[in-house]
Amino acid sequence: MLQLALTIALPLALAAAPAPAQKLQTPVTKKTDVIDDYFGTKVADPYRWLEDDNSAETKAWVEAQNKVTFDFLGKIPEREKVKARLTKLWNFERYSPVTKRGKNYFYYKNDGLQNQSVLYVSEQLDAPARVLIDPNTMAKDGTVALNDVVFSDDGTLAAYGSSESGSDWIKWHVRDVATGADRKDELQWTKFTSVAWIKDNSGFYYSGYAAPKTGDELKGVVKNQKVYFHKLGTAQKDDRLVFERTDKPDWMYGAYLTEDGRFLFIEQSESTDHKNRLYVQDLTQKGSKIVPLFDAFDAHYEIVGNDGETLYVYTDNGAPRYRLVAVSLKQPDQKQWKTLIPEAAGKDVLANVSMVGERFAAVWRTDAHEKLKMYAITGAAENDVALPTLGTVGGIHGRRGENEAFYSFTSFTYPTSVYRYDVAAKTSALWRQPKVDFDPTAYETKQVFYKSKDGTSVPMFIVHKKGLKLDGNNHTYLYGYGGFDISLTPGFSVSNLAWMEMGGVFVQANLRGGGEYGNTWHDAGRLANKQNVFDDFIAAAEWLIANKYTQTQKLAIGGGSNGGLLVGAAITQRPDLFGAALPAVGVMDMLRFHKFTIGWAWKSDYGSSETKEGFDVLYKYSPLHNVKTGKKYPATLVTTGDHDDRVVPAHSHKFTATLQAAQGGDAPILTRIETKAGHGRGKPTSKQIEEKADQWSFLLKILNVKLGAS
The set of catalytic residues is 561, 679
Supply the DSSP symbol for 213. P
Q: Is 644 helix (H, G, I), strand (E, B) or coil?
A: coil
Q: Is 61 helix (H, G, I), strand (E, B) or coil?
A: helix
Contacts of 312 (CB under 8 A, 6+ apart): 303, 304, 305, 306, 324, 325, 326, 327, 340, 353, 355, 360
Measured CA to CA, the distance from residue 147 to residue 678 in angstroms comes to 13
Supply the DSSP symbol for 212. P
Bridge partners of 371, per DSSP, are 364
Q: Is 608 helix (H, G, I), strand (E, B) or coil?
A: coil
Q: H or E segment at 299?
A: strand 291-299
Measured CA to CA, the distance from residue 564 to residue 591 in angstroms comes to 16
Would you say 537 and 457 are in contact if contact means Cβ atoms under 8 Å apart?
Answer: no
Bridge partners of 365, per DSSP, are 349, 370
Contacts of 613 (CB under 8 A, 6+ apart): 528, 607
282: nearest Cα among 306, 304, 262, 258: 262
Burial 287-314 (b: 16+ CB within 10 A, else e): eeeeeebbeeeebbbbbbbbeeeebbbb
Q: Is 685 helix (H, G, I), strand (E, B) or coil?
A: helix
Q: Is 83 helix (H, G, I), strand (E, B) or coil?
A: helix
Q: H or E segment at 150?
A: strand 144-151
Contacts of 626 (CB under 8 A, 6+ apart): 569, 572, 573, 620
658: nearest Cα among 554, 557, 586: 586
Measured CA to CA, the distance from residue 661 to residue 232 in angstroms comes to 56
C-alpha distances out from residue 186 to 138, 145, 160, 231, 618, Å: 15, 16, 10, 11, 42
Contacts of 225 (CB under 8 A, 6+ apart): 192, 193, 207, 208, 209, 251, 252, 253
559: nearest Cα among 639, 645, 678: 639
Contacts of 171 (CB under 8 A, 6+ apart): 161, 162, 163, 164, 186, 187, 188, 190
